[in-house]
Structure 1
Amino acid sequence: MVAADNISLSELSRAFAPEDSAFFKLLQGEVVLKPRAYNALGGAITAQMYLPIARSLVWQQITDYTRWVQFFPDIVRSEILESNPLRPHRGHRLYQAARKNFLVFTAQVEIHLRVFENLQRQIRFRMERGSFDDFSAELTLDDCGDGTILTYSVEATPLIPVPSLLIEQAMRHDLPGNMRQMRQVICAGVSS
C-alpha cells in the first residue's frame, strides 16, 4: 500500500517493484487482493481498487452510510444510530445487517459499529456488538493522478466456529465483486 497526500502516477508506479504488477492491475480496473494471516477461526484481507474520481467526491459518497446497501449487495440494512457533529471524536454509531446465501442455508448477521472518520482520508469501523467474535475494518483513500486508490481492509471472526481457510475463501470470492459494485455505484453517483 502506498499512502501520500497527493501522489502522481509516476511516483506510485515507482513505489511498486517491477515484478509487482498490482499498480497496473489497479489502473486497468482490477481489484487487487492481499489476504493476511489472522487467527484460526477468522480471516483478514485487504482489497484495493482505482476510481477515476477525485478523492473528495468519493468521500462524499462513502460517508453516506445508508448507501452501503447499494455498495455491498449482501448488506440489507445500514443505518446511522447516532451522529454528533459537535463531538466528532466520538464517531458515529452505525447498525448494519447482512444476509448471505450458501449452498444449503442462509446466514444472517448484524453488527453495531463505532465509525471514526479522518476527513477525506480514512474511515475506521470498530465493532461494539454483533454476530461476530471480532470485527474491524478500515477504508483509506489516496490520491492517484486525477483519481483515487481506495483500500479496504477487514478482519473478522464469526461466532460460529468455521475454519479460517473457509472464511478467507469466502472473502476472496465475495470482496472483488463487492468492490466492483461499489465502484460502479460511486461512478454513477458522480455522473448523475
Structure 2
Amino acid sequence: MTASLQTFAYTPSLPSLQEDRLPALLNGEILLTTRSHTDWGAAVTARMHLPIQRGRVWEKITEYSQWVRYFPALTHSQVLHEGDSGAARITKRLYQVASKTFFLFTAQVDIRLKVVETIHQRIQFYLESGSFKDFYADLHLQECRGGTLLTYSVQATPTIPVPSLFIQQAIQLDLPSNLRNMRQLLCQ
C-alpha cells in the first residue's frame, strides 16, 4: 500500500459529546477542545448546533468556494476536480490558500486536499500537497433537537516551525468566532 493510500485510510473516531454539554450547544455556545498533535502542530475538535436541517447545511457547506466567507483567513477555495462518485460518496480535489498573522509574522499557506464526501453525513479532507507536513480534517453532521450538530475535527503540522502552544492559542481565539460567522451565514 502506498503512503498516500495509507493516509487516505486514516479515519479517527470523533470524540464523544458529553450529554451535560448539550444545553450549552443549544444555547449557541461553540465547544472547543484543543490538544497537541506534534511538536509543531495542533489538533482541535469544535462543535456547534445549527438550528436548520442537515440537508440544508450540507448544500451550503459543500459549496467550497463559499468557505472564504466562513473563515476570514481563507483567501481562496476552489474545487479543482470532481472525481469518482458512488451512491453515497463523492471524491473531489480542493485547493485552498490562507493567510494568518502570528504576532509580527504573517504566514501564507496553500494546500491541495483530497475530499471525500459521504452524502449528508461527513466530509473528510486528506492532504495531498501544500504547506503542511501533515493535515487531516473531518466535518461530521448529525441531527440534533430539530437542527444539526456540526463537529469539525482537524489536526495539522505546518512546514514552518511554530510551537504547538501558539497554534493552539490561535485556534482558541479564531475558531469560535469563525464558526459563529459560519452559523450566521448558513442560517440566512
Same fold flag (TM > 0.5): yes
1:51-95 C-alpha deviation (Å, 9 max, x unpaired): 000000000000011110111111010000001365686710000
Name the residue aligned to 1:178: 178
Match runs of 1:15-30 below 5 Å: 16=19, 20=20, 22-30=21-29
TM-score with structure 2 setting the length: 0.86
Larger relative strand fraction: 2
Q: SS of the counterpart of 1:39?
A: coil
Distance 1:42 1:2, change over 3 A: closer
Name the residue aligned to 1:52: 51
Q: CA RMSD in A?
A: 1.9
User: How far, CA to CA, are the matches of 1:79 and 1:64 in structure 2?
Assistant: 9
Match runs of 1:14-93 below 5 Å: 16=19, 20=20, 22-84=21-83, 86=85, 91-93=91-93
1:2 positional shift: 8.0
TM-score with structure 1 setting the length: 0.84
2:64, 2:77 within 8 Å by CA — same for their partners in 1?
yes
Q: SS of the counterpart of 2:66?
A: helix
User: How far, CA to CA, are the matches of 1:56 and 1:109 in structure 2?
Assistant: 31
After alignment, is 155-164 or 48-57 more displaced?
155-164
After alignment, is 165-174 or 56-65 more displaced?
165-174
For the pair 1:165 / 2:154, whether they are aligned, the reply is: no
Structure 2: 5+ residue stretches without partners: 1-13
Which amino acid is 1:140 matched to?
H
Which amino acid is 2:93 matched to?
R
Distance 1:165 1:102, change over 3 A: closer
Match runs of 1:97-108 below 5 Å: 97-108=97-108
User: How far, CA to CA, are the matches of 2:185 and 2:65 in structure 1?
Assistant: 13
1:108 positional shift: 0.5
- Number of residue pairs matched? 174
Q: SS of the counterpart of 1:84?
A: strand
Structure 1: 5+ residue stretches without partners: 4-11
Name the residue aligned to 1:7: none
